[in-house]
Amino acid sequence: MKKLLILFALALPFTACEDIETVLNDTGLSNDDVVKGLKSALEISTDTSVNILNAVDGYYKDDVVKILLPPEAAIIFDNIAKIPGGRQLVDQTIMAINRSAEDAAIEAKPIFVNAITSMSFDDAFGILNGHDSSATEYLHGKTYNDLVSAFSPKISASLSKPLVAGTSAESLYQSLVGQYNQVANLSLGLLKPITQNTLGEYTTTKALDGLFIKVTDEEAKIRTNVSHRVNDILKKVFGS
């Protein structure tokens, strides 16, 4: 008997209600099973992802989601790293960025829960009708703006904590970028001004990118690895 995992992975198209009914009959699953299974998969994927990233070094020591300095500011920080004590300052700034993302990650939990709770049967089959990361994309569409609103103030507050000699990562970055841009604007086009003039907005975007990478990974584990189907509904819906 074909199970939902096979259908989900192959993204078979359903074009009419009759097709949906056929799938349910073939798999022995009910509408309720489909919705519960996908909700449970998302609940576990998001909860696990948030817990991983909210821990110390959740971002900082994960090479996939670690947040580095804005690429366009590399011209500043690469040169700072060459002076005595400069490398340490750069490293501290990068750590501060990642610590702020780790602090903010917990804010995602209630936002994810709200989106998952409101998932309808149509939402569930829309996910089923899509590709391997459709569940995560559903969450992205439902939650992204709310996540930005929740993450942004917490990240900004964290980046405003004193880093070196009473100077925060945010104030240090803005000061360096401001001084560089003054020179760039007088360079007659020889130097390009840096448009990313705050760390808060940049870090929020990168933190959310990392969060959804993690959710996608956890979703895939449930679909493909039986050991990650930790409750009866997951075993029923995603089992082979």
Span 18-32, pLDDT tens digits: 455 555 555 566 777
Q: Which residue range(s) make up the domain with 222? A: 4-238
pLDDT tens for each residue of 42-85: 888 899 999 999 999 999 999 999 999 999 998 888 888 888 88
For residue 188, how many other CB atoms are within 10 A of its CB? 7
Residue 60 has phi, psi (to 5 degrees) of -60, -35
pLDDT of residue 237: 62
pLDDT of residue 159: 94
pLDDT of residue 240: 43
If you count them, how many residues does the chain have? 240
Are 239 and 70 spatial neighbours (Cβ–Cβ below 8 Å)?
A: no
pLDDT of residue 32: 76
Question: How many independent structural domains does the chain possess?
Answer: 1
Residue 196's contacts (CB-CB under 8 Å, 6 or more residues apart) are 70, 72, 73, 177, 202
pLDDT of residue 133: 75
Could you tell me the pTM of the whole model? 0.80
pLDDT of residue 146: 97
pLDDT of residue 238: 63
Low-confidence ranges of the chain (pLDDT < 70): 1-29, 128-132, 164-165, 225-240
Are 22 and 187 spatial neighbours (Cβ–Cβ below 8 Å)?
A: no
pLDDT of residue 94: 92
pLDDT of residue 129: 64
pLDDT of residue 80: 84
pLDDT of residue 3: 39
CA distance 223 to 239: 9
